[in-house]
Chains A and B, each alone.
Chain A
Amino acid sequence: MKIHIKGHAFVFGNNVDTDQIYPGRFVEYTDVEDIAKYAMYGADPTFIKEVQHGDIIVAGTNFGCGSSREHAAITLKAVGIGAIIAESFARIFYRNAINLGLPLIVCPGILKEVKKGDVISFDVSSGIITNEKGSIMSAEPFSDYVLTILENGGIKTLIKQQLLMR
């Protein structure tokens, strides 16, 4: 398992929707470089100036609810978010992010354990989330199929192999 996750946390609340992650007026952009300019623009326009490669987003329930726009997952991956840990995720956002190889980690109760800037690490084999300030939490395990997708860096690699084997 090659997934190593450690980074500073940005913290958001419950029901962060895709309009906040990536506002509708920018969905006409299709190139990753353009999409990367508007990450979290509707929730916090300063996010894009502060985010560093490897940072982690921590959020409450139903993160990514709303639209099916893949831009929401693309933009967070493009700005270097290493993982998103939330109490729960909306379904389409979950699929979109996993398909792109962006780890989404489900951990009920995470929100009250993390403040902005805390250093968070996640051990995939044990499912343990550690906040360097002292708290330790257990994540829900990935399903086998999701783990396979993540280990391959996203689903496109798997489908590409499948098409080649025909």
Chain B
Amino acid sequence: MHAIEKLLAKRADKVSVKTGEIINCEVDMAGINDLYLQALRSFYEMGGVKVHDPSRVIMFLDHYAPASTILQAQNQKEFRAFCWDQGIDLLMDIDQGVCHQVLADKGLAYPGEIVVITDSHTTTHGAFGAFGTGVGATDLAIILATGKLWFSVPEIIKINFEGKPPHGVYAKDIILYAIGELKADFAVYKAVEFSGSTLQYLSISERMALCNMTTEMGAKTSYIQPDNITMAFLNEKVTRPYEIYETDPDFVYADEISFDVTTLTPQISAPSSVDNVYDVTKFIGTPIDQAYLGSCTGGRCDDIGIAARILKDKQVSSRTRFVIVPASKGVLLEAMEKGYVQTLLKAGATFVTPGCAACLGTHQGMLASGETCITTTNRNFPGRMGDTKAQIYLGSPAAVAAAALEGKIVDPTSYIAKENV
């Protein structure tokens, strides 16, 4: 069996599982965010009275942090009241940040465990060897009521990245390239495991970006076998024992694909689908109205650090605005301690409260009709960050920061000092 199958079997109280089997699994951590009031309503509608296990439920007020409308405020009021009534102590209020980063910061995504959140990018937690998957409101309400959820055991695909990424190439470039080659529906219903020699060069932050973006190839979950990099990160944070599962040597993957990253160049996903990926050189000179650095994909301290190095003692282009949204309070505090925030503010960047902000086109950095944005986020669908006639390009934090500096898309490679790689 694969490690993913072993953990699913354990949570379904079975000895083994096979591909396509429908199983009912205990969920170790269930997260709800502030777009999903229907989850609470459906819980009561189904006859729920008390949440099955409040200690395994976490509430995130992250998409509207802080509320921009009366209705958002009203919704958040209901979420808080639900937590207080139901004894849910893990209420991550508007000061905390994006759900996936908050889980990582607090060490709440454990290897070998099932993490289900009302957010499609829950695949992020594969970076810790967890089975992370996104669901809608009704599924989450079922977990609130029963502690369990049904899953179909997925086919598992292995993607190998081989070699050291060149100077100026980041995990975002690697995963955009892979999505461009494999396309947006490549992994629908399937699990994606990342493997290969490239992983040893990727920090947890970069691995989270890889796993996060598997959602954009349709994956149900993603997985990186925990190694010394994972353990170094987790050991400082976790507070209880957990089990790491290993894949049997005779396990047969549904598919296996390898990419050599040693000659990769910075990649850009052009409007209006994530798999529309090209070398950055194709778009050099495209004028940029807004550069945006943030989200569960590209709003971590490492990402802000890259921008700070590119913009140190320089100024954001006069016709471009640079919006930065740290993924969490933890990220913001670290970026302040390292001086990145001061550097970027002096350079002309605008900082927004940690949270999801304009990544999903709700508030705090919306785009007008005809505007062009380059962003470290995960989607460039029509209307994703505002008007449907706005153009969204996805790129690495370096591509975004260099574009903010020049007011147009440039090859970021020459803007990054070699010693900083």
**A15-B185, A62-B184, A65-B185 are known contacts. Are A24 and B146 too (CB-CB below 8 A)?**
no
Shortest CB–CB separation between residue A66 and chain B, in angstroms?
6
Contact with A along B74-96 (1 / 0, CB 8 A): 01000000000000000000000
**Taking CB as reference atom, which chain B residue is nearest A29?**
B71
Across the interface, do A25 and B136 meet the contact criterion of CB distance under 8 Å? no
**Taking CB as reference atom, which chain B residue is nearest A27?**
B35
CB-contacts of A84-121 with B (<8 A): 88-92, 95-96, 99-100
> B residues near A, CB below 8 A?
22, 35-38, 41-42, 45-48, 63-64, 69, 71-72, 75, 118-120, 134-139, 141-142, 145-146, 150, 152, 184-185, 188-189, 218, 220, 273, 360-362, 366, 379, 381-384, 386, 388
Q: How far is A17 from B22 in the complex, measured between Cα atoms in Å?
A: 26
Across the interface, do A66 and B72 meet the contact criterion of CB distance under 8 Å? no
Q: For A163, list chain B residues within 8 Å (CB).
A: 46-48, 145-146
Q: How far is A155 from B141 in the complex, measured between Cα atoms in Å?
A: 11
A159 contacts B by Cβ under 8 Å: yes
Across the interface, do B379 and A66 meet the contact criterion of CB distance under 8 Å? yes
Across the interface, do A66 and B120 meet the contact criterion of CB distance under 8 Å? yes
Shortest CB–CB separation between residue A43 and chain B, in angstroms?
8
Q: Which 6 A-B pairs have the closest CB atoms?
A: A70-B136, A24-B361, A96-B136, A62-B185, A99-B138, A24-B360
Inter-chain CB contacts under 8 Å: number:
131
> A residues near B, CB below 8 A?
15, 17, 19-20, 23-25, 27-30, 42-43, 61-62, 65-71, 73-74, 88-92, 95-96, 99-100, 143, 145, 154-156, 159-160, 162-164
Shortest CB–CB separation between residue A31 and chain B, in angstroms?
10
Q: For B71, list chain A residues within 8 Å (CB).
A: 28-29
Across the interface, do B72 and A70 meet the contact criterion of CB distance under 8 Å? no
Partner of A91 from B36, B141, B189, B388 at Cβ < 8 Å: B189
* New A-B contacts (15) at CB < 8 Å, excluding given A23-B383, A42-B381, A159-B141: A23-B388, A24-B361, A27-B360, A27-B362, A28-B64, A28-B72, A43-B382, A62-B184, A67-B360, A70-B38, A70-B136, A88-B185, A91-B218, A95-B139, A163-B47
Q: How far is A61 from B186 in the complex, measured between Cα atoms in Å?
A: 11
Q: For B118, list chain A residues within 8 Å (CB).
A: 68
**Taking CB as reference atom, which chain A residue is nearest B67?**
A28
Shortest CB–CB separation between residue B392 and chain A, in angstroms?
11
**A28-B362, A67-B120, A99-B139 are known contacts. Are A160 and B46 too (CB-CB below 8 A)?**
yes
Q: For A92, list chain B residues within 8 Å (CB).
A: 120, 134-136
Q: For A99, list chain B residues within 8 Å (CB).
A: 136, 138-139
Q: How far is A19 from B366 in the complex, measured between Cα atoms in Å?
A: 14
Q: For B381, list chain A residues within 8 Å (CB).
A: 17, 19-20, 42, 66
Provide a sorted-by-A list of 8 A–B residue pairs whose CB atoms are within 8 angstroms. A29-B71, A70-B137, A73-B136, A88-B185, A92-B120, A96-B136, A96-B139, A163-B145
